[in-house]
Every structure is written in structure tokens, then in C-alpha cells.
Structure 1
Amino acid sequence: MKKGFCILLSSAMLMGTVPVYGNDVEQVVHTYRAEVGTKNFYKDDVLQTLDTEIYLKDGYVMLPVRTFFTAVDENAQIIWDREKQVATVWMGQYPIRLDVPQNEIAAASVNINVSGKLEVKEGRLFVPLRNWQEILKRCNYEMDEDSIVWDSEKGEAIVKIGEYVINREQELAKPEITGEGQNPIYLVEPTEAYDFIWNVGDGYFIAENYSDENDQKIFDSTGKVLATFAPGTAHHVGYLGENRFCVYEYEGKERPAYVVDAKGNKLFSADYDQIWSYAEGLALVREKTENGYRYGYIDTEGNLQIPMEYSYAGNFSEGVAPVSISESGMGQYGFIDTKGNMVIEPKYRSADPFREGLAHVQTISGEGFINHQGEEVIPPQYGFVSDFQNGTAFAVTKDKMQFVVLDQNGKEVRKLLEATEGLSYFYTPSWDLLEVEYPLGYHGVYRYYDKNGEFSRENYELRSGFSEGLSAVLDKETGKYGYADEQGNMVIAPVFDYAARFKNGYAVVTQYIPNENDTITHKNGVIKNPVMK
């Protein structure tokens, strides 16, 4: 819940009907009143700070942007580019862009039809009141055609805005980013030479230049270019691990052509529809057949070690890989070893690679886990289970009513949420965080969990970006990205317009350079992680 709504919750509930959704979510409705020709702007009859008059223009009530946004959300962040006369506003995770010269508004990255004209007056940006309905709807506030009422006799506008909020006994802690951070240490200074740079791991990078017919290069962590693929000779280059790179040619569809080493020397042809990264010395490959696809595995020299006899397969992990022997690829999943021997009976609807000694499987009864002996350590009874990380996993009951944390014996170590109705949920393995959505409002209402319990959206945004001790964070005053540590200290100064996650000590970054003709030049570079030795 936003702090502003905490203070006014009691008075809002006295104003009229407040819908309640189970025991977790309620809708709070606030009334805003603007008196034209005065500096009087009220929220629930509480006068808001306003140092310029509200006025009429071409039949539209003109309200100052900063006053209105901060009245709705006291934590709204507003960045004003005086030279370009463009404002960028953050309402939680939703960005709003207000372009005065172009008379354009984009809310939550969606352009909206503008009523009237945006205007700068006495150094302040004004927006016609009629536009606030669509802006706030896009930012998950409840408004309809009757939410704005104009009283011509009194010369005042009444606006009613509803917001879905989570019922909590106390506010969740939010991270505080402090410090300015140090200047970045570059492996590759931001340059126009590359349209894209991929940090593919193991100290390798692939750079691409689209303007030169997909000119591609491989360089290493010293910045040395190891291989160059002449324009037109490769549609795409991907890293497979084991110092192998796959070159894709474009002939009506993208498919692998051959495999090279880091210097671009051809090692073997890749006569398959698809090839995946190496895992435990073997790479999964796929070929198209009349009835679908067949899967097998090759070694680092390109030799087919396990025949193309599976309708679906996954990567090797802990010495085994999940495969399906059904003709359709649906069901009959088991596990093979690196010799191709079936070591766990193919009887599951689906199966994932082993992790921490357990594999996630699905049966008609639900999802659970088996061990390397094929024993059901955690019986398939859940609607969803995540992979195990650090000895625990998320689990959701089939009716979506309980969200819990399990240990490797299937014991419930913590109950995260008990719902009164089915919810949507999202899990990203690389983050090991759970996002739960209440399907309410334009975007829905979200809650965020780690294995210890619920935490704030701001913490979710910070923690979901962590890799190698740093997370890319947006400085809302400048609109630039920097990197902060787990304690909230800014380690690398916010000077980037895009900042990727660190991998093997490096991260790809981008800077946007405005040009005189209103175009933008993208400069891509690579920085080093200063906290890694």
C-alpha cells in the first residue's frame, strides 16, 4: 500500500461503498476537487500544495502535472526536461511520458489519444483533466466515464479515483539506494560500432552490426577480437559452451550451418534443425521429420553419441537427461544416462533436468519430485513446484489456494499465502522469486515472495536484477541506470540507458546519445564488475 493511502484509509472507507476481495485486497476510492481560477485543489477535502492557478483552456480544465501526480501517489517520480519540454513520470513501475511539442502522452508504454493540448505555463506543465482518466487507468487505477464531473456553475471539477490495495498490518520495507557510485570500468567503451553485444559467458562476447549485413565478431575478456564473420556470411552466431560457437545461415528459415572454435575455424557441420548448448560434454540436437521432430545428442567433435530417437528431450544434468519416447512428444518421459541407457522408467507426463539431487516431474495427479532411483520423494500432488535451489522449492496447491515452501523431504517449512480465490503466479528460476497476481484493475495487483515470505515491489525489482552481487537500478531523478549492492549502496554510477545483468564478471551497457535531427544514437559497451576479484 502506498504511504499516502495508509494515512487516508479510514476517511476513504467512510465515503461510500468499498468493495472487498477476500481478506487480502480492497478498493479505496478518493475524491479530488479542483476549483478553476484558484489554487484550491483538494484530496478528500484536504487542501493540497499548489502554487499556481487551475484554469480553463478551449473548454478543458488544466491541472499542473506535479500536483496531481503527487496527490494520487506521494512517491511519484517526475523528471522534467526543460529544453525538450518532455516530462517522464513514474507511478510505481508504470512510466508516463508527456511530450509538449508533439502533444503526445504515453502511459505504461502505450500511446493514448490526447484531448486538448499540453501546455507549459509559468514554468509548470499542465495537462487537460480529461486525459487523466486514461493515464491513471493504464497505471492500475480504477476510473470510468463517470469518474470526472464538471460543475459549470461552481467552476469546479470532481474526480473519483479507485485503487486496489493489499490489506497489511504494516508497511513492507522498501530499499533505499544511497551514494553516487564510482565511474564504470570499461572493457569496451560505449561505441556505435556494434548494434548489439551479447555477453555469452566463459569470457566471450558476440558483437553484431546490422547496418553492415549482420557483420559479426567474437571477442574475449581482454577486448581482443578473435574472429570476424564477413558481412552476409552469417545470419547469427551463438555460443554453445565448450569453446564452441554455432553459425546460422538464413535460407528461408534460420537453422544451424556449422560449428566453429573461438577463432572462427570450422570444426564440423551442424546438419540439424536446432542445436542447444553443451551440458556435461553433450549437446542436444533436433531434426525435423514428416511427423514432427526427433532429438539426440552430439559430442564436442560433432559425433552423434545418442541416436535421434526421442520425440522430446532436455539437457544433461547430474549424469542424466529427461527424454520422451511417445510419438507425439506428450507424456512417456523418463531419464537416460550419457550412454543412452534408460535409467528411470518413462512414465511421466513431463520431466525436467535434475537439480540438487531431485527432478521435477508431472503425472495425472500433479507435480512433484523424484530422486535418481526413480522414487517419488515428494509425491506429484501440487499444481506447481519450482526447481530446488539451496535446499528449498516453491509449491502451489492445485486449487491455487495455498503457496508454500518445501524442503527436500517434502516437508512444508513455511506457508507464504493462503488465498480465498484462485490467483495467477509467475516464477523465474534465475531469480528464485515468486510473483502472485490478483486479477483486479487494468493490470492486476501483485505481491512478491522469496523463501522467507512477502516483501515489497521495490525490493522485488532490486533483487530480481542481482547477479554477482550487483543489481541494475534506475535513478528516477536522472532516468539513468547504475548498479547497487545488496545493502543498497550505489556501486557504479547511474550513467546508462540500459544495463544488463553481470555474467562472468562483465555486463553489457547502452547509452543513448540525442542528435540534432531528433534521432538517437545507441552506443553499446561492456563494463567490469568492480566487486569481483
Structure 2
Amino acid sequence: MKKGICILLSSALLMGTVPVYGDMAEVEQVTHTYRAEVGTKNFYEDDVLQTLDTEIYLKDGYVMLPVRTFFTAVDENAQILWDREKQVATVWMGEYRILLDVPKNKIQVEYGNVNVSGKLEVKDGRLFVPLRNWQKILTRCNYEMDENSIVWDSEKGEAIVNVGEHVINRDEELTKTEITGEGQKPVYLVEPTEQYDFIWNAGDGYFIAENYSDENDQIIFDSTGKRLATFAPGTAHHVGYLGEDRFCVYDYEEKERPAYVVDAKGNRLFSADYDQIWPYAQGLALVREKTENGYRYGYIDTEGNLQIPMQYGSARSFSEGVAPVSMSESGIGQYGFIDTKGNVVIEPKYRSADPFREGLAHVQAISGEGFINHQGEEVVPPQYGFVSDFQNGTAFAVTKDRQIIVIDKNGEEVRKLLELPKETSYFYTPSWDLLEVEYPLGYQGIYRYYDKNGEISRETYELQSGFSEGLSAVLDKETGKYGYADEKGNMVISPTFDYAERFQDGYAVVKQIIPNENGIRTVKVGVIKNPLMR
């Protein structure tokens, strides 16, 4: 989950994420008490007996508790996957992943190791962990514990554990989207294979494959599986897709800039004498060159001809016939819009501007953020601390007094979502059209999630944030594998993958990881078809 959060934060910062302040009365801490009686099968949760089928015992001065007992007591939805052969348990508590490796005596929470007290042990077919480690594990999973949270009473032979958690006060529980069904077998364009180390779904029915062991051998193939072009080892460091059946080749001269542009069959079309090339949009590609004081931007056509001169301090790609550009030499401020001929069609007067979407463009002025139409009229006056792009006719907006609302294209309020409490941060990711609010509490913080209709559960958020072409990659916590589910939570493609990407133009890249006896993993990469698209 940390990786996902890092990506989310990066996207949010690019969109102008800001912290806001208010009170946090809607959050409270609840403490639960767990009691384990050594030499018995008695385990209590808040003085309610949870009878076990195996005894709690002492070993080397440590109270040994069965893993399943404690995890499910703290979180009834905890999922535990036990690999009997390797003696490794993978546990999911919400978004947190815990790895318990008996042979290595290793505990890992997310991707950070925990210093282990005592030794993990398998006894009578069950995994036991020394009680002292629970404080370290649960703290990493955002529960409130310290060194005094575990008390050992030697006279009574019992251990008492106090676990605090932060909870949101709600009038009613949020609906949780449940994943049901087994799904169908995947239909492959490319069966999982060791032939490639990497496959990129470039879009428009094109795929780019790499083989690292063969000096970065690069291959272009299409949606029929036909190999269109091969770049001999040592001739291409990287190949990227630009759209319009054009591919950009980066060579081996230890430079980040592109070298030349080819067609789908690998035929060289023109040299790329620029610092960077962006994908084509409406027949023009944004290009950048480095100068003594920064960068200059312009636009080329599909034959490499410079159609709009390198004269802008900053620029974005074309959308709806126009592109935002900065007339400032530094690229800061003075944003307006040009047409595909390079004519200024909207006066350059904004601090920043984004490409048009659904007939409106997001702009920022000194007074705040808002939207303009193609005539340059401020249909949503720049008055918000933050406003998202419009998607399906509505957008998120944050007012100056910390209200998060949904607005329509006339700037009218559709609904109020919440008033941001003190010391919370909000994050918006354009591709998901979802909002996340973080309360900086505990080890990681706690989160609330929103779509345009209101608050949604974490389970619903995780499903919705993965959608592409009607399907979302979901983790089956019983098998530890990924499959694809639809918006109602029905499993459509059975969980058989260790890695699953989003669909694009009817295809998604997947991976299967096969462990070997020597500890080295074999990674097979393939491409599956979207069964919803015929």
C-alpha cells in the first residue's frame, strides 16, 4: 500500500494539494483489552472469552500466542494465507501486509522489517509468535501501542495487552463492496512467458517488449501478436510510443534525450533533435529544448517538421483544438491558449492553465482556481483553493473556508461533502476522480474516501480506483493472487496473477511469479484480453 500512497501523493502534489485546518472532533480513540492465560485455551477480548483449540504457552520467557487468534481478535476481517511447505504466513489487516517467515525468523510489515523478540514457531500445525512482537506489528499497522501496552502478571500467569485505534464517528456504517464469484479463465494475447522481461501496453493496439538479458533487445508487436519491429541489442536503450503510429527511440549514448523517431515497422522517419518529445495530440507533438536559462517549447507534426516555433517558456499538449502555453520567459505565469496554427486565442493572463476537458479549462489566478470556456470567459470564477478537472459534468472544489463541495459546469454547488477538520490533508488523483482525506494520527494516519456522491468505504475506494474499461484489478486474499472484478464486485477474470495492470484499448499486462528451489523467482509476463470488450 505504501507504493500506492506514494503514487497518490505525487499525483496530488502535481494538482496543487494543500493542507487545511479545523477541528478533529469526529475522530476518537477506542482502546481494547486482550488477556491471555498461559497454560490454558482461554483468550479474552474486552473480558469476553474467545476459547481456543490450542494452548497458550511460555517459551524462553516469551508468551506464545497463535497468529490467527490475535490477528482476527484485533481485526475480524484479517485475512491469513499460510504456506505450509515454506512455513511462511502472509496476513492482510486492511491495507497492511504482514509477512511472518518462520525459517528466517523474520517479521515484515509492509516493506519494513521488524526486530524480532524471541522466535517464531510452528507447533501442532499452528504458527505462534512471541507476544512481545505484537506491539511492534500493530504499531506499524496504525494501532496505538507503546512499551507499556503489554503487561505480564507472573503470579496469575497471564498477559494483558491494551490496543488503541482511531475511529471515525459516523451515524451509520459505510457500505463495503464485496468481491464475489470465481471469474472465468483469462484469455491471452500473449501467454505468460520468460521470453520477455517487460511488456508495455503502449495503446492503439501496440505493445513494446524488452529483454534485459539480451542487452535491452526491444520489440514492437501488435494486437494480433505479430512482431512488427525488432531493435538489435545495443541499438536502442528504450522505445516509447508517441501516438499516430510513431515511436521514439532513445539510444545508448548515456543521454536522456530521444535520438530519432520510427514508424511501427522500425523505419526511421526523422531525427529527434530535442530534449524531450511528448505524445502526439491532434496531429502535433509538444517538444522541448534546453537553453542557457531553462527550456523552450514548440510543436512538431508527424513528419518532424516544426509547425509552431520554440518560443514558449512552458506549454502543454493540445486538447479540443487549443493548448495552454506560457508567454513568460521563465515559464512561470502569463498562461494563455493557442490554436494549432500558433495563434493566440485566449489572452495570456493566468498563473497556470491546464488543457481543455469537457469544454472547460482549469486555470489559476491570484484570487484562486476556476474554469474558463473556449471564449476565455470565466464560467467558474477563480475563487477556490483547489478545484479538480471536470469529469462527467462535475468537479470537486475546496472553498477558502475549508468546505469540500461538488460543483457543476455553471459553478453551482451540487452538494457539500464535508468541512475539512484541523491538520488534515486532501489528495485528488485525476485518473480516479476520487478524493482522499488524511488525518495525521498514529503511525500512518487514518483516511476517509469520497466520490462525487459522498463518503465511500475503503473497500469501495480500492475497487473504484482500479477501474479501467469496466474492470478493476483486485487481490484475492485467500490465494494472494490478483484477478479482475466489475463495478458491482463480481469477479470476472479469476485471480491467477501476481501482478495485474490496468486495461487499455482492450488489453492488460499481467505477471506470474514462480518460486524456484534455490530461492530465485521466475517471472513470466503476458497480455490478457478484456472479456467485456468484444
TM-score, scaled to structure 2: 0.94
CA distance in 1, matches of 2:78, 2:220: 43
Partner of 2:429: 428
What's the secondary structure of 1:317's corresponding residue? coil
State the Cα distance separating 1:158 from its structure 2 match.
1.4
What's the secondary structure of 2:71's corresponding residue? helix
Residues 261, 269 of structure 2: 8 Å contact kept:
yes
CA distance in 2, matches of 1:285, 1:37: 72
Partner of 2:331: 329
CA distance in 2, matches of 1:465, 1:506: 15
What's the secondary structure of 1:141's corresponding residue? coil
CA distance in 2, matches of 1:316, 1:21: 43
CA distance in 2, matches of 1:307, 1:74: 62
State the Cα distance separating 1:23 from its structure 2 match.
3.3
Partner of 2:447: 446
What's the secondary structure of 1:376's corresponding residue? coil
CA distance in 1, matches of 2:349, 2:165: 48
CA distance in 1, matches of 2:526, 2:400: 46
CA distance in 2, matches of 1:23, 1:515: 52
CA distance in 2, matches of 1:320, 1:21: 43
CA distance in 1, matches of 2:252, 2:278: 18
CA distance in 1, matches of 2:237, 2:27: 50
What's the secondary structure of 2:467's corresponding residue? coil
Q: 2:66 aligns with which of 64, 72, 80?
A: 64
Listed as ranges, the gaps of 5+ residues in structure 1 are 1-19
Relative to structure 1, the CA distance from residue 141 to residue 21 in structure 2 (aligned partners, 3 Å threshold; closer, same or farther) is farther
CA distance in 2, matches of 1:416, 1:49: 44
Listed as ranges, the gaps of 5+ residues in structure 2 are 1-21
Residue 119 of structure 1 aligns with an amino acid whose one-letter code is E
What's the secondary structure of 2:459's corresponding residue? helix
State the Cα distance separating 1:142 from its structure 2 match.
1.0
CA distance in 2, matches of 1:30, 1:131: 17
| Pair 1:124 & 2:129 matched | no
Q: Which has the higher contact order (CA 8 A, sep 6+)?
A: 2
Partner of 2:465: 464
Residues 49, 67 of structure 1: 8 Å contact kept:
no
Partner of 2:238: 236
State the Cα distance separating 1:21 from its structure 2 match.
6.4
Residue 315 of structure 1 aligns with an amino acid whose one-letter code is S
State the Cα distance separating 1:443 from its structure 2 match.
1.1
Partner of 1:493: 494
State the Cα distance separating 1:252 from its structure 2 match.
2.9
State the Cα distance separating 1:304 from its structure 2 match.
0.5
| Pair 1:76 & 2:78 matched | yes
State the Cα distance separating 1:266 from its structure 2 match.
0.4
CA distance in 2, matches of 1:21, 1:389: 31
CA distance in 2, matches of 1:77, 1:58: 29
Partner of 1:34: 36
Relative to structure 1, the CA distance from residue 39 to residue 275 in structure 2 (aligned partners, 3 Å threshold; closer, same or farther) is same
Aligned-pair identity (%): 84
Residue 24 of structure 1 aligns with an amino acid whose one-letter code is E
Residues 423, 440 of structure 2: 8 Å contact kept:
no
Partner of 1:522: 523
Residues 467, 503 of structure 1: 8 Å contact kept:
yes
Residues 389, 432 of structure 1: 8 Å contact kept:
yes
Partner of 1:413: 414
Residues 186, 527 of structure 1: 8 Å contact kept:
yes
Residue 293 of structure 2 aligns with an amino acid whose one-letter code is N
Residue 466 of structure 2 aligns with an amino acid whose one-letter code is G
Q: 1:184 aligns with which of 183, 186, 190?
A: 186
Residue 134 of structure 1 aligns with an amino acid whose one-letter code is K
Q: 2:374 aligns with which of 366, 372, 389?
A: 372
Partner of 2:357: 355
1:91-490 pair list within 5 angstroms: 91-399=93-401, 401-490=402-491
Residue 511 of structure 1 aligns with an amino acid whose one-letter code is Q
CA distance in 2, matches of 1:409, 1:117: 64
CA distance in 1, matches of 2:452, 2:498: 32
State the Cα distance separating 1:422 from its structure 2 match.
4.3
State the Cα distance separating 1:241 from its structure 2 match.
0.3
Residues 435, 449 of structure 1: 8 Å contact kept:
yes
What's the secondary structure of 1:211's corresponding residue? helix
Partner of 1:12: none
CA distance in 1, matches of 2:289, 2:252: 17
| Pair 1:532 & 2:515 matched | no
CA distance in 1, matches of 2:471, 2:333: 41
Q: Which deviates further from its counterpart, 491-500 or 171-180?
A: 171-180
CA distance in 2, matches of 1:133, 1:328: 52
State the Cα distance separating 1:375 from its structure 2 match.
1.4
